[in-house]
């Protein structure tokens, strides 16, 4: 009997300690930082969906063993502990290189051409790739294309767009050559394997335009561009409507 009483006493003490630890380290304040693709509530629901994960000790164990869960556009989540009851979730997004439109859905892919997710809406700042034949695809796998060379070129330009933070709304494939649409600019990049020099110089032009508050409009031809060449913006041609408006102003 004495042994049983001691065992019950030890068990009771352990239970009280566990309850104490749970309430002492229960997380009350959560801050989410870093993500551009998910809301705070979506991140919190992901991280705290596991049993007892609202406790700092348990959350730390999950983080170090099985992980905190995953979402298509999330690379990783790190937890910063500020003492009892308060944590910050640092979210690191995957780099989305672009998307294609397929059957009314937008199919997003990363820098390696891996399909991340399909969504009915287009995310802001992600260029749409048009004119290509991507065939069938599976989420979590790379696109299968008939022309691997063109696909590699798209991946190269997409990575550089992200690297230089270039505003791009569309990347069009025309007879194997690439055309980039950025703001009011139509940029003929040509047919090449890599576009490092072109995108590097374009980034400088855009940076200068922002500093000097200039609006770039027209066409840029970079089909035969070589490192060190100047970039020339050809202004848009006047349409018949514009000519008529100009004549009316002159007559008045």
Q: Which residues pair with 181 in a beta bridge?
A: 170, 186
Q: Is the distance from CB of 167 to CB of 182 less than 8 angstroms?
A: yes
Question: Are 216 and 148 in the same domain?
Answer: yes
Domain of residue 67, residue span: 25-93
Question: Are 133 and 83 in the same domain?
Answer: no
The mean pLDDT of 172-194, rounded to a whole number, is: 92
Residue 72 pLDDT level (bands cut at 50, 70, 90): confident
Residue 215 pLDDT level (bands cut at 50, 70, 90): confident
Whether 241 is in a domain gets the answer: no
Min mean pLDDT across 17-21, 78-82, 102-106 is at 17-21
Question: Are 131 and 89 in the same domain?
Answer: no
> What was the pLDDT predicted at 250?
45
Nearest to 57 by CA among 20, 22, 33: 22
Q: How many domains does the chain have?
A: 2
Q: What is the CATH number of the domain that holds 80?
A: 3.10.20.310
Whether 134 is in a domain gets the answer: yes
Question: Are 152 and 216 in the same domain?
Answer: yes
Whether 144 is in a domain gets the answer: yes
Question: Are 61 and 135 in the same domain?
Answer: no
Whether 109 is in a domain gets the answer: no
Whether 208 is in a domain gets the answer: yes
The mean pLDDT of 107-122, rounded to a whole number, is: 89
* Contacts with 6 (C-beta within 8 Å, 6 or more apart), sequence order: none
pLDDT in tens, 234-249: 888 776 555 455 444 4
> What was the pLDDT predicted at 132?
82
The mean pLDDT of 146-174, rounded to a whole number, is: 88
Question: Are 132 and 210 in the same domain?
Answer: yes
> What was the pLDDT predicted at 247?
47
> What was the pLDDT predicted at 103?
86
> What was the pLDDT predicted at 252?
47
The mean pLDDT of 170-176, rounded to a whole number, is: 92
Domain end position, chosen among 33, 67, 93: 93
Higher pLDDT residue, 112 or 252?
112
Asked if residue 218 has pLDDT above 50, the reply is yes
> What was the pLDDT predicted at 141?
86
Question: Are 217 and 131 in the same domain?
Answer: yes
> What was the pLDDT predicted at 248?
47
| CA distance linking residue 197 with residue 199, whole number of Å | 6
The mean pLDDT of 67-73, rounded to a whole number, is: 88
Q: What is the percent of the chain where pLDDT is above 90?
A: 34
Question: Are 132 and 87 in the same domain?
Answer: no
Whether 132 is in a domain gets the answer: yes
């Amino acid at each position: 009997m004495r042994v049983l009483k001691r065992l019950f006493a030890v068990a009771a003490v352990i239970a009280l300690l566990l309850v104490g630890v749970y309430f002492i380290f229960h997380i009350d304040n959560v801050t989410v930082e870093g993500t551009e693709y998910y809301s705070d509530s979506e991140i919190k629901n992901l991280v705290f969906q596991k049993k007892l994960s609202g406790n700092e000790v348990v959350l730390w164990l999950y983080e170090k063993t099985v992980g905190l869960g995953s979402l298509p556009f999330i690379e990783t989540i790190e937890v910063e502990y500020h003492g009892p009851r308060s944590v910050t979730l640092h979210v690191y997004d995957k780099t989305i290189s672009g998307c294609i439109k397929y059957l009314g859905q937008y199919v997003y892919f990363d820098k390696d051409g891996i399909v991340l997710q399909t969504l009915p809406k287009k995310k802001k700042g992600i260029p749409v790739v048009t004119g290509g034949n991507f065939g069938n695809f599976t989420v979590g796998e790379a696109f299968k294309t008939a022309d691997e060379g063109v696909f590699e070129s798209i991946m190269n330009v997409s990575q550089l767009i992200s690297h230089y933070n270039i505003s791009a709304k569309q990347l069009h494939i025309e007879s194997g050559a690439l055309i980039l649409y950025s703001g009011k600019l139509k940029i003929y990049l040509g047919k090449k394997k890599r576009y490092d020099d072109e995108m590097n110089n374009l980034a400088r032009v855009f940076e200068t335009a922002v500093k000097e508050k200039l609006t770039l409009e027209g066409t840029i031809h970079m089909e035969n561009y070589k490192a060190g060449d100047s970039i020339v913006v050809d202004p848009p041609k006047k349409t018949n409507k514009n000519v008529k408006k100009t004549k009316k102003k002159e007559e008045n």
